Chain A
Amino acid sequence: DSGVTQTPKHLITATGQRVTLRCSPRSGDLSVYWYQQSLDQGLQFLIQYYNGEERAKGNILERFSAQQFPDLHSELNLSSLELGDSALYFCASSAEVIANSPLHFGNGTRLTVT
């Protein structure tokens, strides 16, 4: 158990809808990262937050947004969903943003868009 909690585990929704994925980092970790894994793309970095502020952005679509709250949990919002958004979404956390601080991943949310 990595200590990173993601909810829900599974989500099925229709095209055009909006969903929110939630992540609770490991106790004491200040940084949260979001990744997307689809069958044909591998693990893709989306966005990173550190202590409530956006730190780095990857290939995140404009339809997607995220935030980190004062209690350090994070939410990833996906809107105007398309079939291609079906994927596993992983959250990871780390204590610091130095390269010597490993990321620890949750077990993901499986999103299916029909």
Chain B
Amino acid sequence: DAKTTQPPSMDCAEGRAANLPCNHSTISGNEYVYWYRQIHSQGPQYIIHGLKNNETNEMASLIITEDRKSSTLILPHATLRDTAVYYCIVRVAFKGGKLIFGQGTELSVKP
């Protein structure tokens, strides 16, 4: 499975957009990019996933570069409740099994 690189921590002002980057330069054509977050020892929460195209749902937007080597998760209007560890994970299309979690990015949303 492709590895991902994320900054260990980021800050964001409340009400502003939070842009969380992820590098996955060794991603293969059949691998999906998934984003999860974990708020203080709760279970990881699914946010969004995509293969090639940009995706948007009620929580966030996922922007994947054309070469698929990096992606950005965008929380359009961050709130204090978005403070969490965010994980970017690359998942193989044909195995469909486990997600391998890295260290993630600790996002702090500040008033």
Q: Which residues of B contact A35 (CB under 8 A)?
A: 101
Q: Which residues of B contact A103 (CB under 8 A)?
A: 46, 99
User: Which residues of A45-66 have CB atoms within 8 Å of chain B's CB atoms?
Assistant: 45, 48, 55-56, 58
Q: Which residues of B contact A108 (CB under 8 A)?
A: 41-43
Query: B49 interface residue, CB < 8 Å from A?
Result: yes
Query: B98 interface residue, CB < 8 Å from A?
Result: yes
CB distance B43 to A43 under 8 Å? no
CB distance A99 to B31 under 8 Å? yes
- B: residues with CB less than 8 A from A are 30-32, 34, 38, 41-46, 49, 51, 87, 91-103
- A: residues with CB less than 8 A from B are 2, 4, 33, 35, 42-43, 45, 48, 55-56, 58, 88, 90, 92, 96-108, 110
Ranked 7 nearest A-B pairs via Cβ:
A105-B43, A43-B101, A97-B96, A45-B98, A98-B96, A99-B93, A56-B97
